[in-house]
Amino acid sequence: MKNQSIFLPAFLLPFFLISGIAAAQDVTFETKDVEISKVFRDDAIRGTQAWNLVESLTTEVGPRLAGSEAEARARDWAVLNLNNFGFENVRVEPFMIEGWRRGEETAAVVSPFPQKLAITSLGNSVATNPNGIEAEVVLFESLAALKAAGEGSLEGKIAYVGHAMQRTQDGSSYGHFVRLRSAGAVEAGRRGAIAALIRSIGTDSHRMPHTGNMSYSSDVTPIPIAALSNPDADQLERMAQRGEKIRIALTLTPSHTGVVESGNVVAEIPGTDLADEIVVIGGHLDSWDLGTGAVDDGAGVAITMEVLRRIRDSGLKPRRTIRLVLWGAEEVGLLGGYAYLDKHQATIRKHVIGTESDFGAGKIWKITRSINKEAEPVADKIAELVEPLGIATGSNDARSSGPDLTPMNAMGFPGFRFVQDGSDYFDLHHTPDDTLDKIDPSALDQNVAAYLVFVWMAANSNVRNWGWTSAD
pLDDT for 223: 98
Please check the confidence at residue 1 and state whether its pLDDT lies above 50.
no
Region of 360 please: left (phi>0), alpha (psi -120 to 50) or beta: left
Which has more confidence, 230 or 395? Answer: 230
Length of the chain: 472
pLDDT for 435: 98
| Single-letter residue type at 378 | V
| Single-letter residue type at 234 | D
Residue-wise pLDDT tens digits, 111-151: 999 999 999 999 999 999 999 999 999 999 999 999 999 98
Domain boundary among 253, 276, 297: 253
| Single-letter residue type at 20 | G
Residues 411, 271, single domain; the answer is yes
Q: Are 420 and 368 in contact (CB under 8 A)?
A: no
Mean pLDDT in residue range 383-408: 93
Q: Are 420 and 365 in contact (CB under 8 A)?
A: yes
Nearest CA-CA partner of 105 in 82, 88, 128, 86:
128
Mean pLDDT in residue range 209-219: 97
Please check the confidence at residue 33 and state whether its pLDDT lies above 50.
yes
Residues 366, 378, single domain; the answer is yes
Nearest CA-CA partner of 262 in 228, 291, 292, 285:
285
Q: How far is CA 314 from the centre of its chain?
A: 29
Phi first, then psi, for residue 233 (nearest 5°) are -65, -45
Q: Reply yes or no on whether 330 is catalytic.
A: yes
Residues 19, 61, single domain; the answer is yes
Residues 89, 238, single domain; the answer is no
Q: Are 121 and 211 in contact (CB under 8 A)?
A: yes
Residue-wise pLDDT tens digits, 276-334: 999 999 999 999 999 999 999 999 999 999 999 999 999 999 999 999 999 999 999 99
Q: How confident is the model at residue 31 (pLDDT cuts 50, 70, 90)?
A: very high
Residue-wise pLDDT tens digits, 44-101: 999 999 999 999 999 999 999 999 999 999 999 999 999 999 999 999 999 999 999 9
Identify the CATH number of the domain in which residue 157 sits.
3.50.30.30
DSSP H helices in 124-192: 143-148, 174-190
Tell me the sheet residues that pair with 390: none
Residues 76, 224, single domain; the answer is no
- What is the distance between the alpha carbons of residues 469 and 409, in angstroms, rounded to a whole number? 9
Q: How confident is the model at residue 5 (pLDDT cuts 50, 70, 90)?
A: very low
Nearest CA-CA partner of 425 in 328, 304, 295, 335:
295
- What is the distance between the alpha carbons of residues 373 and 465, in angstroms, rounded to a whole number? 10
Residues 108, 95, single domain; the answer is no
Q: How confident is the model at residue 469 (pLDDT cuts 50, 70, 90)?
A: confident
Q: How confident is the model at residue 411 (pLDDT cuts 50, 70, 90)?
A: very high
Region of 62 please: left (phi>0), alpha (psi -120 to 50) or beta: left
Please tell me the total count of domains within the chain.
2
Region of 412 please: left (phi>0), alpha (psi -120 to 50) or beta: left
pLDDT for 27: 83
Mean pLDDT in residue range 370-395: 95
- What is the distance between the alpha carbons of residues 165 and 174, in angstroms, rounded to a whole number? 7
Residue-wise pLDDT tens digits, 222-241: 999 999 999 999 999 999 99
Identify the CATH number of the domain in which residue 340 sits.
3.40.630.10
Please check the confidence at residue 444 and state whether its pLDDT lies above 90.
yes
Q: Give the DSSP H/E element, type plus range, for residue 306.
A: helix 299-314
- What is the distance between the alpha carbons of residues 406 and 400, in angstroms, rounded to a whole number? 5
Decide the pairing of beta strands 133-140 and 246-252: antiparallel
Mean pLDDT in residue range 371-380: 94
pLDDT for 164: 78
Whether residue 5 is contained in a domain is answered as no
Q: Are 247 and 60 in contact (CB under 8 A)?
A: no
Phi first, then psi, for residue 370 (nearest 5°) are -140, 90
Mean pLDDT in residue range 100-115: 98
Structural domain that includes position 19: 12-99+259-460
Q: How confident is the model at residue 471 (pLDDT cuts 50, 70, 90)?
A: very low
| CA 55, 61, 67, 68 torsion-angle sign | positive
Q: Give the DSSP H/E element, type plus range, for residue 407.
A: helix 406-410
Q: How confident is the model at residue 8 (pLDDT cuts 50, 70, 90)?
A: low
Q: How confident is the model at residue 9 (pLDDT cuts 50, 70, 90)?
A: low
Please check the confidence at residue 21 and state whether its pLDDT lies above 80.
no
Whether residue 471 is contained in a domain is answered as no
Rounded to 5°, angle at Cα 343 from 338 and 347? 110
pLDDT for 25: 58
Whether residue 467 is contained in a domain is answered as no
Please check the confidence at residue 190 and state whether its pLDDT lies above 90.
yes
pLDDT for 6: 41
Instruction: Tell me what the pLDDT averaged over the chain comes to.
Output: 93
Tell me the sheet residues that pair with 100: 256
Residues 110, 244, single domain; the answer is yes
Domain boundary among 189, 220, 253: 253
Residue-wise pLDDT tens digits, 169-188: 888 889 888 999 999 999 99
Catalytic residue of the set 277, 330, 331, 356: 330
Q: How confident is the model at residue 399 (pLDDT cuts 50, 70, 90)?
A: confident
Q: Are 282 and 304 in contact (CB under 8 A)?
A: yes
Residues 387, 445, single domain; the answer is yes
pLDDT for 175: 87
pLDDT for 239: 97
Q: Which of 1-10, 30-39, 340-349, 405-414 has the lowest mean pLDDT?
A: 1-10
DSSP class of residue 375 equals G
Residues 371, 326, single domain; the answer is yes
Domain boundary among 253, 284, 314: 253
